[in-house]
Chain A
């Protein structure tokens, strides 16, 4: 069974890019437009092996969604995608445990190796 990745980004273009690249690598992809949809997908039982969340999204940010999931006892690995170092620093300062950070523009080789590591 292939690895299932849940990706969340408020940009449809970026979602399309991520989906295309991940599917080319043989991953099964679920998409969400914001943190609210991430929570809904998890509650609906989509059970991804890893989450790839954009740090800043309207309605509910990736960090907030992560905090909510961890509080609910969801231990799935989470990679946070952020525009730059400042956001990563801000994310690191919070109480939630993050599996790693990916910066934009995305280095896909690095992303694939991180996903492989975390879902091994």
Chain B
């Protein structure tokens, strides 16, 4: 007779096997590509050069020597790790300076830096929610926001993507809740579409709701000085909560939550994801301070390159007959069909030397596969030329 213990173990391991049918059908798994270089142009995968249209390295500063030097300086003074959570002995003067610099950059009173934006978004909601609260969120909000909201156990309700009328109808009816929060993103990462945030903010103020905006794909990218959604929308004295990833245009890693001084002071003591995580590395904090200086000094020039690459690629793709999303940001996103078709297209690009980011079900609906292309400011003109040649030749082969 089989041992019940071994049966149970066997069942557990049988239940936790990856279903990679689509990848096998496409003959290609685009996830976890093994990168053998920094984010240079080209990057290296399997010993071969690739044009990198996959990273969120919008300003192309990830491999900038000035950031590397700042990171090394951070290590020289503070070592590799503070080996403690911020609330214990992990909070250095460097940590405080980086928080202050981020607050000034975004135009907010105070900030908290988390080891990742996923943790920031997940931790935030549990810390601010009270029984009887309601969370309204955009249907296409990032999973870190939705998971964070759901972890509160409060009532929650999606509203139609970027639909102000739907949101207002819900707000009108939501009078029986203690506090209502409206959660969205500035730039939606799969399609590059932006939220009508100024209008949403006005609705929130009108109905007494607290807006929560995730500016991960906006910070360092949108606004005249690259300061993100609040600058872009002309919002001053923001009455809501701001979160962002530091691992995209800001080219380091971590996440930030910013807002009113009193709230941030409260969150400093009541956000488990912050107070039970080892403090972010000093190298990262010093590089963050440096990148904010660089953006302050050079944004116009760097952003000009980013948009020039983005626009050249967008025009070429449209001319070649690719169906594109209506992006308003430096994200070019190809409507690539169902999951299998999306992976097959990603494979053709990969085989031709382009690294891209595919989104398939369940990240997007089954028929709405997307291939995201971000042409960072560090790419050479010749790489954009080469990428356009590749896209054209793939289109020619298909037709």
Are A and B co-members of a single complex? no
